[in-house]
Amino acid sequence: MTTTDTRLEQNLGRTAIPAHRSEPLWRRRSRLQRATATVVPLLRRPGFTLALLIVLFALAAAVVPQLLTSFDPYATSPIDKLSAPNLIHWFGTDELGRDLFTRVVYGASLSVQAAFLAVGIALVGGLGLGILSGFAGGRIDSVIMRFVDVLLALPGLLLALAIVTAIGFGTLPVAIAVGVGIIPGFARTTRAEVLRVKTLPYVEAARLGGASWSRTLLRHILPNAWGPVAVLATLDFGAAILATAGLSFLGFGAAPPAAEWGTLIANGRHFLITAPWVSLLPGLFLVAVVFSLNHIARTFEESQR
């Protein structure tokens, strides 16, 4: 049989299949090795690397701001007030003479923490609902989706406003409010992915091979469904940063002198004519971070396809 195979294959221009029936020459490549193999080529793209660096900078600013700047965010210095960006003060100073760059770096801490919390809440809630809905189907699915529809009908910011009205101002309420607003998007995406994968032939094959539902869920459905969810999580991280900044801009965030990015921008409003950098530069930094997150998310999405 093998010889007929090889002859036919050679005729058809393909290489013959060697008969390796002896010692195994293979190793199981670990999943980690395969994962790194997909990420490394991405680093060769300049845009991706730049975006990654910006995000890492923001994360560093959130965790160890003191390493990135030598100024004290609360140190006022009335002599230097409202000075334009220069070599000492990279972003200039605000109306109290505080170094703006330092304020932005320290502000990262609150904003990034809030965003992490918000996305965390959304992941737990949204993933849970989505998986349950997609997997269980039937009535549970309808009920959960109705609930998600209701949440969708409430505009994100307004829902956040309601929550903040009820439990008060500050970084934590803002984070919770934003997180709850993101849940519907996660739930819907997760459900769509679970539904898509659930009906694929290889899931059916696994079930026919005797796999239990829990095995199917953990080993087949979730690993194949998490791709778009991961992309959405990265995108929503950026959206959460924008949303928390928006809420603190409106005055519902941490109380002064703590510096969340939104508060910084709101503060600078009053000096727009004379010292535009007080508002605009922190905003530019914000844009850079969110745009980088979006770029990373999009690069992952494209590499998955």
Site for another protein in 204-223 (CB under 8 A): 204-206, 208-212, 215, 220, 223
CA atoms within 13 A on the CB side of 156: 20
Which residue, 20 or 78, is less far from another protein as judged by CB? 20
Query: Is residue 29 at the binding interface for another protein, with CB under 8 A as the rule?
Result: yes
- Which of these, 248, 242, 236, lies nearest to 171 by C-alpha position? 248
What contacts 215, CB < 8 A, 6 or more positions away? Answer: 206
Residues 84-103 that bind another protein (CB under 8 A): none
Question: In the set 19, 53, 67, 88, which binds another protein (CB under 8 A)?
Answer: 19
Please choose, out of 63-71, 82-90, 124-132, 284-292, the segment that lies near another protein by the rule CB under 8 A. Answer: 284-292
DSSP string, 90-130: TT-B-TT--BHHHHHHHHHHHHHHHHHHHHHHHHHHHHHHH
Query: Is residue 46 at the binding interface for another protein, with CB under 8 A as the rule?
Result: no
Which residue, 75 or 272, is less far from another protein as judged by CB? 272
Residues 118-157 that bind another protein (CB under 8 A): 146-147, 149-157
Query: Is residue 39 at the binding interface for another protein, with CB under 8 A as the rule?
Result: no
Residues 227-266 that bind another protein (CB under 8 A): 235, 238-239, 242, 245-246, 249-252, 262, 265-266
What is the total count of residues that contact another protein (CB under 8 A)?
83
Query: Is residue 270 at the binding interface for another protein, with CB under 8 A as the rule?
Result: no
| Sign of the torsion formed by the C-alpha atoms of 205, 207, 213 and 215 | negative
Q: Which two tokens stand for residue 122?
A: 């959304």
Question: In the set 24, 46, 78, 256, which binds another protein (CB under 8 A)?
Answer: 24
**What's the closest the beta carbon of residue 1 comes to another protein, in angstroms?**
6
Question: In the set 3, 15, 25, 305, which binds another protein (CB under 8 A)?
Answer: 25
**What's the closest the beta carbon of residue 180 comes to another protein, in angstroms?**
9
- Which of these, 243, 303, 284, lies nearest to 54 by C-alpha position? 284
**What's the closest the beta carbon of residue 3 comes to another protein, in angstroms?**
11
- Which of these, 264, 292, 291, 266, lies nearest to 91 by C-alpha position? 264
**What's the closest the beta carbon of residue 292 comes to another protein, in angstroms?**
8
Q: What is the dihedral of CA 27, 28, 33, 38, to 10 degrees?
A: 110
Query: Is residue 162 at the binding interface for another protein, with CB under 8 A as the rule?
Result: yes
Q: d(Cα 112, Cα 56) in Å, to the nearest integer?
A: 11
**What's the closest the beta carbon of residue 66 comes to another protein, in angstroms?**
27
**What's the closest the beta carbon of residue 156 comes to another protein, in angstroms?**
5
- Which of these, 86, 89, 56, lies nearest to 71 by C-alpha position? 89
Question: In the set 83, 190, 279, 299, which binds another protein (CB under 8 A)?
Answer: 279
Please choose, out of 16-24, 63-71, 101-109, 119-127, the segment that lies near another protein by the rule CB under 8 A. Answer: 16-24
Question: In the set 69, 76, 113, 224, which binds another protein (CB under 8 A)?
Answer: 224
